[in-house]
């Protein structure tokens, strides 16, 4: 047990309005992209989260001057003096985030070599990096795996290549993009991930001078250019955080308006939310005009009263139901009448957190079979990756230990929905991806305290 604990007095519906800023899974990559420019970049709406601090630290070690801009949440990156950092300095960040792996291409372009520390991130399966390393080798990089981390070099430069991903991995697609934009010649990537965060990264790279065509059928073609300049960009908002608060509204029978949430990027979530019985209303943004202060866009989510419905859902790559939406929503599904089915097809070990929900009174069974959907990669590999949730169950308070970021938020929602006082240990992990979550909880009327 750690000292880092939040006491949650549950049973009160969350009510009020919060705001989400730039998507964690875009902002951190946009920061890495700034390394590729030969002039400063400017990024807005950057949330104050741990992943951003890790990337900021790594950029600083490599000579990129990172300063706060005039606007709240604005960061300015000056890559004029990119330089090597010592492995000891870099290793300070070992185990803290998955993002360092994306420094490979940009550092190889800028310095001819790169050192990548042992990676971190959430423990939701083995999380291999074989696609990344295979792609980098195709570009001409040599990769030396040592106990302290990865040493890469590109003695003959990096050259465009044809590469097909075995699975549309988000990170590996970003690796290829960040490497191909300045590699000599043309790169063709097949079976690419096309999540909105990837399209936004492509927008950033295009602003920097890159030539990238997104074809149909997950094919991306990149024409390498010898130099790129800085960008100015306002990122897409965090659709994982938005859905997490929406699920919290549903599970606590509350009403939460998420300013910044965007309908187009959340379509699949919104359909499931409505099928479960939640209500939502989209407010379009209106710019201020003379005599009209304008309005910020967002989505209002609420529990309309009465019973929720069981649903069957399967997580998948975009435009499917995001794997990161699954854990928060499952808490709401414990309150739905009947049997809900969740088939997790992106990560093989992302249902372990359901045990904690069961100790709170939920009735969730996990199975190795591919339930209620298309057979997936994990069906024959002995992973418990399908869940059946029988509801409704009355949740009661418990002592919980947070295992990873998204499961952690689901524990928090469960504690908020349960009657009584829960102690949630390891809550600082939530700061990796949810900006000011304790202040937001207070704004929504939650009763929490640090002992």
Question: 101, 93, 98, 34: which is closest to 69 by C-alpha?
Answer: 34
Task: Examine the residue annotation and report whether 122 is marked as an active-site residue of this protein.
Answer: yes
Question: 172, 156, 152, 153: which is closest to 164 by C-alpha?
Answer: 172
**What binding mask, one character per residue, do residues 192-211 give for ligand EPU by CB under 6 A, x or -?**
-x------------------
The answer to whether residue 170 forms part of the interface with ligand EPU (CB under 6 A) is yes
Minimum Å distance from CB 60 to ligand EPU? 20
Tell me the torsion sign for CA atoms 242, 411, 254, 445. negative
Three-state DSSP state, 31: helix
Contact residue for ligand EPU among 161, 169, 252, 268 (CB under 6 A): 169
- Read off the tokens for 92: 């300070």
Angstrom distances, CA of residue 347 to CA of 289, 363, 376, 405:
47, 22, 11, 14
The answer to whether residue 151 forms part of the interface with ligand EPU (CB under 6 A) is no
Complex with ligand EPU: residue 100 or 391, whichever CB lies closer = 100
Minimum Å distance from CB 289 to ligand EPU? 37
What is the DSSP annotation of 300-322?
EEE--SSPEEP-EEEB-STTSB-
The answer to whether residue 130 forms part of the interface with ligand EPU (CB under 6 A) is yes
Contact status, residue 396 vs residue 426, Cβ threshold 8 Å: no
Complex with ligand EPU: residue 11 or 328, whichever CB lies closer = 328
Contact status, residue 41 vs residue 255, Cβ threshold 8 Å: no
The answer to whether residue 167 forms part of the interface with ligand EPU (CB under 6 A) is yes
Nearest-angstrom CA–CA distance, 274 and 276: 5
The answer to whether residue 115 forms part of the interface with ligand EPU (CB under 6 A) is no
Q: Which helix (H) or strand (E) holds 150?
A: strand 149-153
Task: List beta partners, residue 16.
Answer: 256
Angstrom distances, CA of residue 22 to CA of 7, 74, 196, 201, 369:
28, 11, 12, 12, 36
Minimum Å distance from CB 135 to ligand EPU? 9
What residues between 42 and 71 interact with ligand EPU by CB under 6 A?
A: none
Residue 184: count of CB within 10 angstroms of its CB: 15
Contact residue for ligand EPU among 6, 108, 122, 154 (CB under 6 A): 122
The answer to whether residue 103 forms part of the interface with ligand EPU (CB under 6 A) is no
Is 68 annotated in a binding site? The answer is no
Complex with ligand EPU: residue 78 or 348, whichever CB lies closer = 348
What residues between 347 and 366 interact with ligand EPU by CB under 6 A?
A: 347
**What binding mask, one character per residue, do residues 403-442 give for ligand EPU by CB under 6 A, x or -?**
--xx--------------------------x---------
Contact residue for ligand EPU among 131, 139, 302, 383 (CB under 6 A): 131
Angle between the N-to-C axes of helices 24-33 and 50-61, in degrees from 0 to 180, rounded to the nearest 10: 10
How big is the site for ligand EPU, counted in residues (CB under 6 A)? 26
Complex with ligand EPU: residue 126 or 305, whichever CB lies closer = 126
Q: Are strands 162-164 and 186-190 parallel, antiparallel or unpaired?
A: parallel
Is 423 annotated in a binding site? The answer is no
What residues between 289 and 348 interact with ligand EPU by CB under 6 A?
A: 322-324, 346-347
Minimum Å distance from CB 365 to ligand EPU? 23
> Can you list the positions of beta strands (E) in 206-357?
211-214, 220-223, 232-233, 255-259, 279-283, 298-302, 308-309, 312-314, 336-343
Complex with ligand EPU: residue 217 or 292, whichever CB lies closer = 217
Residues forming contacts to ligand EPU in the complex (CB under 6 A) are 24-25, 98, 122, 125, 127-132, 167, 169-172, 193, 240, 322-324, 346-347, 405-406, 433
Residues at the binding site for UDP-N-acetyl-alpha-D-glucosamine are 98, 324, 346
Which residues does the annotation mark as catalytic? 122
């Amino acid at each position: 047990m750690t000292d880092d604990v939040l006491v949650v007095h549950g049973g009160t519906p969350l009510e009020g309005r919060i705001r989400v800023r730039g998507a964690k899974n875009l902002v951190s990559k946009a920061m890495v992209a700034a390394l590729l420019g030969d002039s400063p970049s400017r990024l807005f709406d950057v949330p104050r989260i741990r992943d951003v601090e890790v990337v900021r630290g790594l950029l600083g070690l490599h000579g990129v001057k990172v300063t706060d801009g005039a606007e709240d949440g604005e960061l300015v990156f000056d890559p004029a003096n990119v330089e090597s950092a010592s492995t000891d300095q870099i290793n300070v960040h070992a185990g803290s985030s998955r993002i360092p792996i994306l420094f490979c291409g940009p550092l190889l372009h800028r310095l001819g070599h790169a050192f990548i520390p042992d990676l971190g991130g959430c423990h939701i399966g083995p999380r291999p990096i074989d696609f990344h390393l295979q792609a980098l080798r195709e570009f001409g990089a040599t990769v030396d795996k040592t106990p302290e981390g990865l040493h890469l070099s590109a003695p003959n430069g990096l050259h465009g290549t044809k590469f097909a991903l075995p699975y549309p991995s988000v990170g590996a697609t970003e690796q290829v993009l960040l490497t191909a934009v300045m590699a000599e010649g043309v790169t063709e990537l097949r079976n690419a991930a096309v999540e909105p965060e990837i399209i936004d990264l492509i927008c950033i790279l295009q602003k920097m001078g890159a030539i990238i065509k997104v074809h149909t059928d997950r094919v991306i073609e990149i024409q390498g250019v010898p130099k790129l300049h800085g960008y100015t960009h306002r990122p897409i908002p965090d659709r994982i955080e938005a859905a997490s608060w929406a699920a919290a509204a549903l599970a606590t029978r509350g009403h939460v308006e998420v300013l910044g949430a965007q309908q187009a990027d959340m379509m699949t979530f919104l359909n499931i939310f409505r099928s479960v019985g939640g209500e939502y209303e989209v407010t379009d943004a209106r710019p201020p005009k003379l005599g009209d202060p304008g309005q910020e866009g967002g989505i209002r989510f609420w529990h309309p009263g009465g019973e929720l419905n069981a649903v069957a859902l399967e997580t998948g790559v975009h435009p499917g139901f995001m794997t990161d939406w699954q854990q928060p929503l499952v808490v709401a599904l414990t309150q739905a009448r009947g049997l809900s089915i969740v088939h997790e097809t992106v990560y093989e070990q992302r249902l372990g957190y359901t045990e904690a929900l069961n100790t709170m009174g939920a009735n969730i069974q996990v199975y190795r079979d591919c339930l209620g959907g298309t057979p997936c990669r994990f069906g024959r590999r002995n992973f418990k990756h399908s869940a059946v949730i029988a509801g409704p169950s009355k949740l009661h308070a418990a002592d919980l230990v947070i295992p990873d970021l998204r499961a952690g938020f689901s524990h928090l929602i469960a504690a908020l929905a349960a009657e009584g006082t829960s102690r949630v240990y390891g809550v600082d992990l939530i700061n990796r991806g949810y900006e000011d979550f304790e202040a937001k909880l207070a704004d929504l009327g939650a009763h929490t305290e640090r002992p």
